Amino acid sequence: MKKIALLVGTRPNYMKIAPLWRAINKEPEGFSTVMIHTGQHYDREMSGVFFEDLLMPQPDVMLDVGSGSHAQQTGKAIIELEPVLIGIGPDVLVVAGDVNSTLAGALVAVKMGIPVAHVEAGLRSFDRTMPEEINRVLVDSIADILFASCRDAVENLRKEGISSEKTYFVGNVMIDSLKRILPMLRTSDILKEYQLESKKYVCVTIHRPSNVDDRSVLKEILEGLNNVSRNVPVVFPVHPRTRKKIKEMEWESDVGQFIITDPLGYIDFMQLMSNAAVVVTDSGGVQEETTYMGIPCLTIRENTERPVTVSQGTNRLIKAKAEDIVREVHGALGRVGRPVPQIELWDGVAAGRIFEILKKVL
């Protein structure tokens, strides 16, 4: 029996690991999984509801890393994970994405001689001021098996001197979760709850430190969105980090139709996003999901580690300036209804390809 440990820590991890867990557990014999949750995202809104929506079992191991600085989170995760991996003795540890839990898991495993497989390897923004970029580069440099979601990620790994024998182009596993959940969206009443009409509102997600930690930057973004809301409803499910910063600013929407909600579960959020006319975000995963669904996406960032969503998808990078946001949203509204892009191997069966490779390697 080969034992595959799957590590999660935050919301984006769940959508990447859930399809792989499902693919492995379809195997009649020979493989077992152990799901380890670091607790980097720990409350129901940021964690529990996603396991329910993705029809995943509760984690086999739940740690208590919690919030804190990058150093505190990573360090605590390393300390907590070591005895867990000693007890489990997995044949491979699968980590996903670029969060602090991903780096912590990879570091612990590689020092214990446990092979590390990285799902979503090779993505690069080439911006070393982003903590996620540091995590991506470090994990890829020590991983034994690297699963890339797009061709440019494979090329990035080649340029960094990583052996092609360790690199596999498997497609985008997040699309596996998205395709699986699309038929379930009809169970959500989120549009009715907020009295929204399909393709007649803007959906927003903002949480990155570069956008929310600087008071002047966040003020520009909120003012831009508030101005947009004079003509079209703006719905903003707020990440706890962003809500804290908004509260510190004592900012309140005073015009238009600006709707702030608590974080939403996967089904409710995907229903909200899939029916939006335009999405404004700084999230990596949202850039991919909107591209798959053909929804105009405006990403408030100077760069993206997912350039394929710009070159082949529906994504555009914009500046964190109120006038730019208003102009770009109005321009994006004119792009609603264009053909849906088709990106190579974003087909909903990436997890199966990953598992087939793991079986051969193990």
207 is catalytic: yes
Tell me whether residue 187 is exposed, middle or buried, using C-beta atoms within 10 angstroms of its C-beta: 0 to 12, 13 to 18, 19 or more. Answer: exposed
- Residue 137, φ and ψ in degrees, nearest 5: -65, -45
Give me the pLDDT at residue 27, please.
79
Give me the pLDDT at residue 269, please.
95
pLDDT surpassing 80 at residue 351: yes
Q: Please name the residue that has the structure tokens 């927003």.
A: 204
| Contact partners, residue 277, CB within 8 Å, separation at least 6 | 199, 200, 201, 202, 232, 296, 332, 333, 336
pLDDT surpassing 90 at residue 157: yes
pLDDT surpassing 80 at residue 128: yes
pLDDT band at 50 (very low <50, low <70, confident <90, very high): confident
Give me the pLDDT at residue 66, please.
78
pLDDT surpassing 90 at residue 81: yes
Give me the pLDDT at residue 54, please.
87
Write down the pTM of the prediction: 0.94
Nearest Cα to Cα of residue 135 among 145, 124, 146: 124
Give me the pLDDT at residue 171, please.
98
pLDDT tens for each residue of 5-40 = 999 998 889 999 999 999 999 976 899 999 999 987
- Residue 6, φ and ψ in degrees, nearest 5: -115, 125
User: What is the spatial distance between Cα 228 and Cα 255, in angstroms, rounded to a whole number?
Assistant: 10
**To the nearest whole number, what is the mean pLDDT of the chain?**
93
Q: What DSSP character marks residue 58?
A: P
Buried b (16+ CB within 10 A) or exposed e, 189-225: ebbeeeebeeeebbbbbbbbeebbeeeebbebbbbbb
User: Cα dist. 309→153, 215, 253, 315 in Å?
Assistant: 13, 29, 31, 5
Averaged pLDDT, 275-287: 97
pLDDT surpassing 90 at residue 52: no
Q: Please name the residue that has the structure tokens 């959940």.
A: 181
User: What is the spatial distance between Cα 200 and Cα 233, in angstroms, rounded to a whole number?
Assistant: 7
- What are the chain's domains? 2-171+346-361 (3.40.50.2000), 183-333 (3.40.50.2000)
User: What is the spatial distance between Cα 285 and Cα 212, in angstroms, rounded to a whole number?
Assistant: 18
- Residue 298, φ and ψ in degrees, nearest 5: -115, 115
Beta-carbon count within 10 A of 83 CB: 10
pLDDT band at 250 (very low <50, low <70, confident <90, very high): confident
Give me the pLDDT at residue 43, please.
54
Give me the pLDDT at residue 124, please.
98
pLDDT band at 47 (very low <50, low <70, confident <90, very high): low
Classified as helix, coil or strand, 1 is coil
CB 187 within 8 A of CB 267: yes
Give me the pLDDT at residue 229, please.
96
Give me the pLDDT at residue 153, please.
98
Task: Check residues 71 and 254 and name the one with the higher pLDDT.
Answer: 71
pLDDT tens for each residue of 163-180 = 999 999 999 999 999 999
Categorise residue 323: left if φ over 0, alpha if ψ from -120 to 50, beta otherwise.
alpha
Q: Measured in whole angstroms, how far is the alpha carbon of residue 115 from the centre of its chain?
A: 24
CB 166 within 8 A of CB 144: yes
Which of 84-93, 223-232, 251-260, 305-314 bottoms out in mean pLDDT, i.e. has the lowest?
251-260
Nearest Cα to Cα of residue 237 among 223, 225, 248, 254: 225
Q: What DSSP character marks residue 170?
A: -
Averaged pLDDT, 135-144: 98
Q: What DSSP character marks residue 336?
A: T
CB 148 within 8 A of CB 169: yes
Structure tokens that stand for 8 in this block: 């999660």
Q: Which of 41, 70, 207, 239 is catalytic?
A: 207
